[in-house]
Amino acid sequence: MSRPRVFVSRRIPEAGLKRILAATDAEVWPEQLPPASDVLRKKIADCEGLVSLLTDRIDAALLDTAPKLKVVSNFAVGFNNVDVPAATARGICVGNTPGALTDATADLAFALLLAAARRVVESAIDARAGKWKTWEPLGYLGVDLAGRTLGIAGMGRIGYAMAKRAHGGWDMNILYYDEVPNPKAETDLKARRVDFDTLLRESDFLSVHAALTDSSKGMFGAKEFAKMKQTAVFINSARGPLVDQKALVEALKAGTIFAAGVDVTDPEPPDPNDPLLHLPNAVVAPHIASATYTTRDGMAEICADNLIAGITGQPLRAWVNPEVGGRRRR
């Protein structure tokens, strides 16, 4: 019997790839850069399954060129690159990889927080450039963490893990802004749910963990940075378009806020001349929050399970659109 055809849009860790290769007739895109959209269209024309990355745009027009497609298994927890309503309308299941990357992402968000607060990257670049002349009483002064207030925008799994680190390790007070209350954060971490304005005004550190949707796009712009403390440190490890990047650059240049640490930008990658990359008070990482061996293995396993379940008519392990239900393609 012939095995179901699938396209895997980039090489993923063996932990998941092995399962995919054993169960399907898979073509794996071998390049470092994503396939162009017309190439992707051709590749999935005959496929029952697709493993996509956050760099692949999966929209209605693309889905219409794949009449046999049963499942899009996104190798990420975020799925803003997939038009989920369009997939649902066509009976196509969509999967993602929640849980596997929670700790790694919170670790990286915290690393950015510390690096930005304590000017680690700026001072290390100076040291490497031979600008370390002596010990200076007024050199590279940063901001303290202990006992300060961390604001979390989006108290889901990752927001909670970030808050837990700050509360447990640095005795920080936790504020959060979310449409949905998180009773566990309120009980375990004494987190206080506040309105967006209060979050902006009272946070010493503000870390973004919201999903990117039409309504959250651009939620941090000039107006929002103006409301923040001049000593505030802004962290974004969620998605670049949640932030108006030009406004962030202006706020950092003008000293409206103290510093920023971001793992995501808009666009990705940024132009090498983008001022954000060159500001001394900005730490920019190239979207590496989930980049640990164990985490990427875990993501690959969930991704493979989702793909195979989608093809064989089983419930997906992490199912973004279970409402597709009985209308799913068989």
Tell me how far apart the alpha carbons of residues 248 and 275 are, in angstroms, rounded to a whole number: 10
Task: Give the footprint of ligand DGY on residues 262-321 (CB under 6 A).
Answer: 290
Tokens of 326: 């009985």
Between 52 and 71, how does the x/- string for binding to ligand DGY read (CB under 6 A)?
Answer: --x-----------------
With binding defined as CB under 6 A, does residue 9 bind ligand DGY? no
Kindly tell me which residue out of 71, 72, 76, 191 binds ligand DGY, with binding defined by CB under 6 A: 76
How many angstroms separate the Cα of 110 from the Cα of each of 33, 95, 107, 187? 29, 28, 5, 22
Quick one: which segment of 76-84, 109-117, 161-169, 249-257 binds ligand DGY (CB under 6 A)?
A: 76-84
With binding defined as CB under 6 A, does residue 212 bind ligand DGY? no
Tokens of 51: 């493993």
Quick one: which segment of 7-15, 74-82, 225-233, 241-249 binds ligand DGY (CB under 6 A)?
A: 74-82
Tell me how far apart the alpha carbons of residues 103 and 167 are, in angstroms, rounded to a whole number: 15
In terms of CB distance, is 162 or 228 closer to ligand DGY?
162
With binding defined as CB under 6 A, does residue 77 bind ligand DGY? yes
With binding defined as CB under 6 A, does residue 115 bind ligand DGY? no
With binding defined as CB under 6 A, does residue 172 bind ligand DGY? no
Kindly tell me which residue out of 34, 78, 270, 275 binds ligand DGY, with binding defined by CB under 6 A: 78
For strand 259-262 and strand 282-284, is the pairing parallel, antiparallel, or unpaired? parallel
3-state helix, strand, coil in the chain (%, to 5): 40, 15, 45
Quick one: which segment of 44-52, 73-81, 108-116, 213-221 binds ligand DGY (CB under 6 A)?
A: 73-81
Q: Least distance from C-beta 74 to ligand DGY, angstroms? A: 8
Instruction: List, by residue number, the catalytic residues.
Output: 239, 268, 287
Q: Which residue pairs from 16-24 have beta carbons closer than 8 angstroms and sit at least 24 positions apart in sequence? A: 16/297, 16/299, 16/300, 16/301, 16/302, 16/303, 16/304, 17/300, 17/304, 19/301, 19/304, 19/305, 19/308, 20/51, 20/304, 20/307, 20/308, 23/308, 23/311, 24/48, 24/49, 24/307, 24/308, 24/311
In terms of CB distance, is 76 or 113 closer to ligand DGY?
76
H or E segment at 135?
A: none
With binding defined as CB under 6 A, does residue 101 bind ligand DGY? yes
Binding residues with ligand DGY: total (CB under 6 A): 6
| Residue found by looking up tokens 């806020």 in the block | 257
**Where along the sequence are the contacts to ligand DGY (CB under 6 A)?**
54, 76-78, 101, 290
